[in-house]
């Protein structure tokens, strides 16, 4: 499973966009893109989802019951 920072960076590069171009198209500040791609914590979920929606994805919270125990033991 890819991390959010890796996923976003790969998708942005596949689209041939710089961070600035991507931020402009996504309608967010450049700092939002940089924070996500640098793997920073404490991100605004609404802004992250706005960015991810450009690729047809969203990020949603899940409960511990929804996590596969096999995945967490690796």
Give pTM, 2 decimals.
0.72
Question: Is residue 66 situated within a structural domain?
Answer: no
Tokens (6 digits) for 36 = 């996500």
Domain enclosing residue 9, as ranges: 4-56
Question: Is residue 67 situated within a structural domain?
Answer: no
Q: What average pLDDT does this structure show over 10-20?
A: 95
Residue 71 has pLDDT above 80, yes or no: no
38-66 tens-digit pLDDT? 999 888 888 888 888 888 888 777 665 65
Q: Quick check: 49 and 59 in contact, CB under 8 A?
A: yes
Q: Quick check: 28 and 48 in contact, CB under 8 A?
A: no
Helix (H, G, I), strand (E, B) or coil at 6: helix
Question: Is residue 45 situated within a structural domain?
Answer: yes
pLDDT (0 to 100) of residue 73? 46
Question: Is residue 14 situated within a structural domain?
Answer: yes
Tokens (6 digits) for 34 = 């940089």
Q: What is the CA radius of gyration of the chain?
A: 13
pLDDT (0 to 100) of residue 69? 52
Residue 39 sits in a domain whose CATH number is: 1.10.260.40
Number of domains within the chain: 1
């Amino acid at each position: 499973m890819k991390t959010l920072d890796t996923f976003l960076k790969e998708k942005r590069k596949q689209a041939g966009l710089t961070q600035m171009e991507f931020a402009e198209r996504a309608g967010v500040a450049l700092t939002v893109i940089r924070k996500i791609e640098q793997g920073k914590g404490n991100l605004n979920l609404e802004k992250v989802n706005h960015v991810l929606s450009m690729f047809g994805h969203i990020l949603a919270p899940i409960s511990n019951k929804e996590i596969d125990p096999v995945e967490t033991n690796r």
